[in-house]
A and B are shown apart, each in its own frame.
Chain A
Amino acid sequence: MTSLAPGSGPTDLQAESAPPSLPETVLDEAQRGETHADGHAAHPDLRLFGLATFLVADGMTFAGFFAAYLTFRAVNPLPEGSSYELELLLPTINTVLLVLSSVTFHRAGSNLRDGNGSGCRSWLLGTGVLGAAFLAGQMVEYFNLPFGLTDNLFASTFYALTGFHGLHVTLGVICILIVWAQARPGGRINQQDHFGLEAAELYWHFVDGIWVVLYGILYLL
């Protein structure tokens, strides 16, 4: 028995209950648990799990923005002469581009997993181009809008939402370029080690999904 705790006298309860060391059986099991030196699959790589959790958090930021926008819209009338109408053609093209880019990214991933590195890089490049085209489209839209950031509540919310999403797309395009560079022959990303690509892909699908919701409530509603 180890020395007893100050302030707690020895009791029969204690004597029965507090083993100074672990019982043998428990240690046996413990040893079995630690000796799994097997490969890849035995060690769950938690980085994607962590990223997914982060994206849940990021999604909540958007959810907050969406809730604010919908409430504003429901209860705060716009001043005379302003309306919620937006030009639809460009954003719709943009939506198509972004959804398409999710498909191309997916192709890039499956190519890499099949061992086709150059195919993967081409699809990645295509994805990056689609993302950049989306951003360009967004810029064109910004410059042709009849309202500025502080014109009214709808204008402010519009820029806040699309701007915050646009930041995400920009970051995504940068990530795609990095992954593209790393997927070159002899680079960090290859058929065996493709965390970077999978992380970028997960993020990109997330950004696309957010856009679809955003498009629905901001442009169509």
Chain B
Amino acid sequence: MTLASPSDFEPQGLQPQGWLKYLSFSLDHKVIGLQYLVTGFVFYLIGGALAGVIRTELASPISDFVSRETYNEVLTLHGTVMIFLWIVPVVNGAFGNYLIPFYVGARDMAFPRLNAVAFWLIPPAGILLISSYFIAGGAAQSGWTAYPPLSLTTPALGQVIWILSVLLLGGSSIFGGINFIATIWKLRRPGLKMMQLPMYCWAMLGTSILVVLSTPVLAGTLILLSFDIIAHTGFFNPALGGNVVVYQHLFWFYSHPAVYIMVLPAFGLVSEILPIHARKPLFGYTTMVYSILGIVVLGLIVWAHHMFTSGTPPWMRLFFTIATSFIAVPTGIKFFNWLATLWGGKLALNSAMLFSCAFIVNFVFGGITGVALAQVPFDIHVHDTYFVVGHFHYIVYGGTVFIIFASVYHWYPKFTGRMLNEDLGRLHFLLTFIGFNLCFAPQHWLGLNGMPRRVAEYDPAFTTLNQVSSIGALLMAISTLPFLINVVWSAFRGEVAGDNPWNALTPEWLTTSPPPVENWPGEAPLVTHPYGYGIPEGQLDLKVTTGRELWTGGRR
């Protein structure tokens, strides 16, 4: 089962061929990966349109564009779509499914059928969620956090549909996580050791552990919440003797790890992209691995930093402040490793690389505001203000979304066999980078000066910066156009890429573009040095990947 030879390997069976396979219950991990990617992107466009509504409304201090209720629905849908239907499925499901079997030297994931089921849960869940906007009473209005008692008092049907949809998406995520753990841990080709895997495997292993440990807690919590709504139990309803803070604990026990579920895979992807375009080995492989594991462990014990203003007792505040600040250590290690990977390299500043380098800049900014937020006195001042909105958009957009784009530029030749257009790519980058910073940097100032989040109306004193922010959002919307044109046009007219346009060493490049169903026409290659760039062959020695020799690329 592990490694059937190509002749008797038939994941397709009676399945449709050609482009129709992308609409089918395909078991091929590459097809499923692209299904995730395209579906995720469709939801990104929807979530982006919702963001456009938000920024249009906030361009003026009164609620003139949409009503307050509609604003709350739009806000809730935006957050939920972006997190559960765009970031999580794409950065885990899309690239994970496409790349992980290559990286472990397998012909498919451990459980292909479960894999297809996990994907096909997503479109119905997304359609369900979005359709709730059109029912009587409208969509959920209580934000992506669905805090009670707010979520108990807003229109019930929309909230219940929201819960149902998130449960489906959570289930999909858990199935995916189980599959990744089994594939990375158990399906490696003989001879391939864990410490020889490309870094994205480690990132996905860590992420999947978080998914498996924390998502079920969210599911259980939302089931209890739905009881409160439907059966009028009082788990989280203070009027019936319940406890809202328990909801917050359970919710954040999932949702803080969830931020790592969104960003750890991006860490992994950028660790693949940087060495190839800098022609340098990934610096500090071993420390990278232990940093990921450290983030996984710490990520599970910091959740209550979202609750400093929820009446948490002092000892708890102290513990969660310290634990949260500690996360900066493994994260910082990774940051410096990326810088060291770039140091002295032969950088090719193509679109993939531009987005990756911008990721490093944006992420360190979001990380610094994160550490600031972990300090209780500061957090009490800015909690639930636009400062928090600025912080997490620097992480999820400036971090993860930038890496999704970088990854599309990097792997598109593998997906399609054609290159993306570099000029359009650079234009896309420039517009995105300027628009993003214009949109979210001012929000820090707004928050520090007291503009609360989740409001359709605000103090007119905040008008100018909100308009700057809205212009930034407009630029971001425009920046999507060159990208869309590029991916469609290049699919037919792009320069033919060849098997390995980047001269990369990781296994997905050691086959045709696009790869055959069985991944490699012949044997699966055994790649023990996925980052062996920059030093003469025969001198490769994994033991020194952390050492100065590799850092300097063999030069003095």
Question: B-contacting residues of A (Cβ < 8 Å)?
Answer: 2-9, 11, 13-14, 16-23, 26-27, 29-34, 36, 43-47, 49-50, 53-54, 56-65, 67-68, 71-72, 75-76, 78-79, 149-150, 152-153, 156-157, 160, 164
Contact = CB atoms under 8 A, between A and B. Distances in A.
A50 B221 CA distance: 24
Contacts of A34: 3, 5, 189-190, 523-524
A20 B500 contact: yes
Interface string B483-509: 000000000000100111111110000
Contacts of A57: 174, 177-178, 212-213, 215-216
B498 A3 contact: yes
A65 B247 CA distance: 11
Nearest to A155: B233
Nearest to B425: A7
Contacts of A65: 220, 224
Interface stretch (B238-246, B357-365, B392-400): B238-246
A61 B216 contact: yes
A188 B191 CA distance: 34
B242 A3 contact: no
Contacts of B178: 50, 53-54, 57
Nearest to B421: A6
Contacts of B279: 8, 11, 13-14, 17
Contacts of B220: 61-62, 64-65, 164
A156 B249 CA distance: 19
A7 B174 CA distance: 40
A190 B423 CA distance: 63
A3 B216 contact: no
A18 B250 contact: no
B524 A30 contact: yes
Interface stretch (B95-103, B266-274, B343-351): B343-351
Interchain residue pairs A-B with the least CB separation, the first 4: A8-B348, A18-B503, A7-B350, A64-B217
Contact of B1 (A27, A43, A59): A43
Interface string B204-239: 000000001111110111001001000111110000
A125 B213 CA distance: 34
A4 to B, nearest CB: 7
B224 A160 contact: yes
Contact of B350 (A8, A32, A43): A8
A11 B504 contact: no
Interface stretch (B51-59, B118-126, B445-453, B531-539): B531-539
Interface of B: 1-3, 5, 105, 110-111, 114, 174, 177-179, 181-182, 186-187, 189-191, 212-217, 219-221, 224, 227, 231-235, 240-243, 246, 249-250, 253, 277, 279, 346, 348-350, 419, 422, 495, 498-505, 510, 523-528, 532-537, 553
Contacts of B181: 53
Contacts of A49: 182, 186
A63 B217 contact: yes
Given A8-B348, A26-B525, A33-B526, A3 B535 contact: no
A23 to B, nearest CB: 7
A29 to B, nearest CB: 5
A56 B246 contact: no
B234 A150 contact: yes
A5 B502 CA distance: 5
B213 A56 contact: yes
A50 B114 contact: yes
Contacts of A44: 1-2, 186
Contact of B525 (A13, A27, A56, A64): A27
B231 to A, nearest CB: 6
Given A18-B503, A34-B523, A65-B224, 9 more contacts: A6-B495, A27-B523, A32-B191, A46-B1, A46-B186, A53-B178, A54-B178, A62-B220, A153-B241
A56 B111 CA distance: 18
13 contacts: A2-B503, A6-B419, A6-B495, A8-B350, A16-B535, A17-B534, A27-B523, A29-B526, A43-B1, A60-B212, A64-B216, A72-B242, A164-B220
Contacts of A64: 216-217, 220-221, 250, 253
Nearest to A22: B525
B213 A16 contact: no
Contacts of B498: 2-3
A33 B191 contact: yes
B190 A17 contact: no
Q: Most chain-B CB neighbours within 10 Å: which of A34, A50, A76?
A: A34
A8 B217 contact: no
A60 B503 contact: no
B279 to A, nearest CB: 5
Given A6-B419, A57-B215, A150-B231, A43 B503 contact: no
Contact of A22 (B216, B422, B510, B534): B510
A78 B240 CA distance: 10
A13 B233 contact: no
Contacts of B504: 18
Contact of A5 (B114, B249, B503, B524): B503
Given A150-B231, A156-B234, A17 B243 contact: no
Given A30-B524, A33-B189, A72 B503 contact: no
A14 B503 CA distance: 8
Contacts of A72: 235, 242-243, 246
Contacts of A13: 279, 346, 533-534, 553
Contacts of A23: 537
Given A7-B422, A56-B213, A64-B220, A46 B110 contact: yes
B397 to A, nearest CB: 25
